[in-house]
Chain A
Amino acid sequence: MWLDSANPQLNKNGELHHLLSLEGLPAGILRQILDTAESFVGVTQREVKKVPLLRGKAVFNLFFEPSTRTRTTFEIAAKRLSADVINLAINVSSQSKGETVLDTVANLSAMQADMFIVRHAASGAPYLIAKHVAPDIHVVNAGDGRHAHPTQGLLDMYTIRHYKGDFTKLRVAIVGDILHSRVARSQIHALSTLGCPEIRVIGPKTLLPAHVNRLGVQVHGDMRQGLKDVDVVMMLRLQNERMNGALLPSAQEFYKYYGLTEDKLALAKPDAIVLHPGPMNRGVEIDSSVADGRQSVILPQVTFGIAIRMAVMSILAGN
């Protein structure tokens, strides 16, 4: 049968062996990652921004879908843990020549890899890889299709906890293209596991997946209504190819109704924070004055992102 264990991310002691999705991870593990990341934030502010934890380990960045930004943050994190980092941009051509994902993985495993950081355009690809790698290799999902982006979700949780403390009193809004967003799915799972009582998703119906309410969220088509009294606003990136066409008439109309502007943000609580996973489309999903404004925590997110990835890699490598 397919992936026998109840949760293929956990080993038989219930510890994290792969990080594939935040769905189904116990709150204890999420908190352990956030706590560990907190210790790593200190490391990144020192003279030598490096610890010897993963010395001699080989971390392979396996990017079947290009993303310089995410790859770089994983690379920095791995290097700060003293791991050897090998970057592989798997070009589509070797894939089309009949080499499958599993061929690629088998080849790399033979090079004594300890960890695969996987980015793939198809939902579930990291599960396929996790199922087929040797038992001592760890797989980290760095974003798969529309499914999950667990380290992004974790760094968002870290950011929220850093500024807001307790999740159990927060009202959080996630705004934009929920349908195609792996980030949104990871955020929703993590927020509910950590006890956030009110999660709202805001977007036009063409950008909301079917039955999204069953993930435990409130759905709002009207952004002004959706932002009322929230503590946290999490904006999503709108992919260029979605801006004009069948799902949305134009970027301008999207900005007018779903872009985060100062007047819309004023409906949230006065101390609400604004997050964005980057890269931002200024003037499409977010106004520059908000992105650079006093409520924006977008730059700290990036710093925390390194610490989160260090935490994930060091916890996995140790389990």
Chain B
Amino acid sequence: MPGNPLPDAESLLASLTDRMRSAVGPATGLVGIHTGGVWLAERLHAALGLKLPLGTLDVSFYRDDFSRKGLRRNVKSSDIPFDVDGCDVVIVDDVLHTGRTIRAALNELFDYGRPGRIRLAALVDRGGRELPIAADFTGAEIEASAGETIELTRDAAGRLALQLTRN
């Protein structure tokens, strides 16, 4: 695609990391949402030097479009390797759009326990919310129309990039 109209994901991640640095501590638990959110969370976890092991969520079992779309193939396992009860949790996702994925993630997280606080970090907030959900940390806000999809990709070297497709 000639001339990617979207900002560079690596620099967005750098600024997201900066914004989060003062807001997290040793007791913060990071949880990435599959798949892009997990890539980001891995990088954030290392960059922020967090102590609790990284958690991952695949919200397929909690999605509200199951009855219309069915179960996705290649469902990944969710894994929260720390005690959620009372924990200060930050959920990490790549693109915040309708808010439905985050709703599903919140529900799933509560099935692991009762967190003390949950905050949300997203690399990109593209607007278009359908639920009362907002991010606590974002890399950038991008205007995108309903027919467009913004996706995070990762190449073999581990470099992150944003990709725009129109249907």
Contacts and interface: CB of A to CB of B under 8 A. Distances in A.
Interface in A28-78: 32, 35-36, 38-43, 46-48, 50-53
A318 interface: yes
Given A39-B78, A46-B111, A51-B111, A314 B73 contact: no
A315 interface: yes
Nearest to A37: B75
Interface string A305-319: 000000000110111
Given A51-B111, A53-B66, A314 B61 contact: yes
B166 interface: no
B71 A48 contact: no
Nearest to A313: B71
A70 B67 CA distance: 27
A40 B112 CA distance: 14
B111 A39 contact: no
Contacts of B73: 32, 35
Contact of B75 (A36, A52, A317): A36
B151 to A, nearest CB: 22
B125 interface: no
A50 B111 contact: yes
Contact of A42 (B66, B71, B77, B113): B77
Contacts of B66: 53, 317-318
A55 to B, nearest CB: 9
Nearest to B113: A47
Interface of A: 15, 32, 35-36, 38-43, 46-48, 50-53, 314-315, 317-319
20 contacts: A35-B75, A36-B71, A36-B75, A38-B77, A39-B60, A39-B77, A42-B77, A42-B78, A46-B112, A47-B84, A47-B111, A51-B62, A53-B62, A53-B66, A314-B61, A315-B70, A317-B67, A318-B69, A318-B70, A319-B70
The 8 tightest CB contacts between A and B, nearest first, are A318-B70, A48-B111, A51-B61, A318-B71, A42-B77, A39-B75, A39-B77, A53-B61
Interface of B: 58, 60-62, 66-67, 69-71, 73-79, 84, 107-108, 110-113
